[in-house]
């Protein structure tokens, strides 16, 4: 029995070690580091995750003193103690993340949600896997990449003008055109999204992973329309490509770049102040700070590719923040939830709705990714309906 207990402890320590390096991967992928270097770092860390359990098994479990063969933990060399302590903390961190995931509930500012699941393969009756990078992942069993969740969420916001009751925003993010998923997949998604008839359309970044797919814009985002306009920012994957050309091409289809300068949109006699930030990859946060002449009754909307700018937006007084980037984790491991998330906050803001101070954040799970794999984490397109708070 003691050997079994010690074996379980070694397993716990191995999992904790993997969680520590996963935490490093998550946070380095939130920084302004080119994908070439991130990939090299990730490969090294993934190798360490695989090798450490073997080292632990032989150095601690089987070799003298060998806790799996009758030895005692107290007989280990002292230098093992800080290593095992860190691994234990890593395991406790994973447990904490799992508990937080299980107890997550949307804030009271989200008053309703309903979803419609659309299976694109069945709908289009064709093979939607192309020849792009990692195309083999798209065909793995139980992959949910072709089962897209169209969600309708209702938000109640205290500073929303009463004349804007029922204002709708289509929140799109992370299309990741790479050729791995065929053009027809995205054409149909955009067509279905347009059927929601939103007042305003926002795209929150990560559009192109291969420049050969730039001409897809004419048939996907190009035809989309909304009475109050179509606005966009770019993301870190666009930064890794030819971002200036991507920005220009999307602008030529009629979409408005929110990072060029903030937009003051007049609607029903009230002002919607919209700004966009692609920090830390392109631009700086101070480039989109509110100007001193903003009226106190302006409603303030920030589009930030990463949710890492949420706390900054709350300090600046934004009412609503729309983000993507984290893909909901793409793979969620029951009961722990997402493990990988490119964020300085780890898996805290992978998807959903969050509230701080007077600022509401909505993080989309996005549509695709350079790695076309979704387990327990379906792609998402959201229609957000805004209502003013009860003035009673």
CATH 3.60.21.10 in the chain, residues? Answer: 110-388
| CA nearest to 366, candidates 310, 306, 276, 313 | 306
pLDDT of res. 293 = 55
Which residue's entry shows tokens 């048939």? Answer: 219
pLDDT of res. 25 = 97
The dotted CATH code for 110-388 is 3.60.21.10
pLDDT of res. 392 = 40
> DSSP string spanning 225-291?
--TT-EEE---HHHHTS-HHHHHHHHHHTT-EETTTS-EEEEETTEEEEEEEEBTTTBS-GGGGPPP
User: What phi, psi does 141 have (nearest 5°)?
Assistant: -60, 140
Q: Which two tokens stand for residue 225?
A: 């329309």
User: What phi, psi does 285 have (nearest 5°)?
Assistant: -60, -35
pLDDT digits (tens, 9 = 90+) for 113-169: 999 999 999 999 999 999 999 999 999 999 999 999 999 999 999 999 999 999 999
pLDDT of res. 171 = 98
Gap between the Cα atoms of 66 and 13, Å rounded: 15
pTM summary value: 0.94
Q: Which two tokens stand for residue 47?
A: 């190798």
pLDDT, averaged in runs of 10, over the chain (392 residues): 92 97 97 95 95 96 91 93 96 96 96 96 94 94 96 96 96 98 97 96 97 97 97 97 97 95 92 96 72 68 98 95 97 95 97 97 97 96 92 44
Determine contact, residues 52/14, Cβ cutoff 8 Å.
yes
pLDDT of res. 390 = 64
């Amino acid at each position: 029995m003691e050997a079994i207990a010690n074996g379980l402890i070694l397993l716990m320590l191995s999992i904790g070690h993997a969680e520590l390096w996963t935490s490093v991967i998550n946070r380095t992928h939130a920084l302004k580091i080119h994908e070439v270097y991130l990939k090299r770092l990730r490969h090294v860390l993934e190798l360490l995750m695989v090798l450490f359990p073997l080292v632990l098994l032989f150095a601690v479990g089987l070799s003298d003193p060998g806790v799996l063969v009758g030895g005692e933990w107290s007989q280990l060399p002292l230098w093992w103690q800080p290593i095992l302590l860190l691994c234990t903390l890593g395991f406790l961190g994973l447990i904490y993340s799992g508990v937080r995931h299980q107890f997550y509930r949307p804030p009271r500012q989200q008053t309703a949600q309903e979803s419609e699941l659309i299976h694109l393969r069945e709908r289009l009756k064709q093979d939607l896997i192309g020849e792009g990078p990692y195309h083999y992942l798209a065909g793995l069993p139980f992959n949910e990449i072709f089962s897209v969740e169209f969600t309708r969420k209702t938000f109640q916001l205290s500073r929303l003008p009463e004349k804007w009751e029922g204002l709708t925003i289509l929140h799109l993010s992370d299309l990741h055109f790479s050729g791995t998923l065929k053009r027809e997949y995205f054409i149909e998604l955009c067509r279905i999204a347009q059927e929601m008839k939103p007042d305003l359309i926002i795209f929150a970044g990560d559009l192109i992973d291969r420049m050969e797919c730039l001409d897809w814009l004419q048939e996907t985002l190009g035809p989309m329309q909304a009475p109050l306009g179509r606005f966009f920012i770019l993301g870190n994957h666009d930064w890794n490509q030819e971002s200036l050309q991507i920005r220009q091409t999307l602008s030529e289809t009629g979409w408005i770049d929110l990072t060029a300068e903030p937009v003051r949109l007049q609607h029903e006699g009230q002002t919607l102040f919209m700004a966009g930030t692609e920090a830390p990859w392109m631009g700086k946060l101070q480039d989109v700070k509110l100007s001193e002449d903003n009226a106190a009754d302006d409603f303030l909307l920030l589009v930030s590719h990463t949710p890492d700018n949420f706390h900054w937006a709350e300090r600046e007084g934004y009412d609503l923040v729309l983000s993507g980037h984290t893909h909901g984790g793409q793979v969620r491991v029951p009961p722990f939830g997402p493990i990988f998330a490119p964020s300085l906050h780890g898996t805290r803001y992978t998807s959903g709705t969050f509230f701080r101070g007077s600022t509401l954040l909505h993080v989309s799970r996005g549509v695709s990714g350079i790695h076309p794999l979704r387990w327990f984490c379906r792609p998402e397109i959201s229609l957000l309906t805004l209502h003013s708070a009860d003035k009673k």
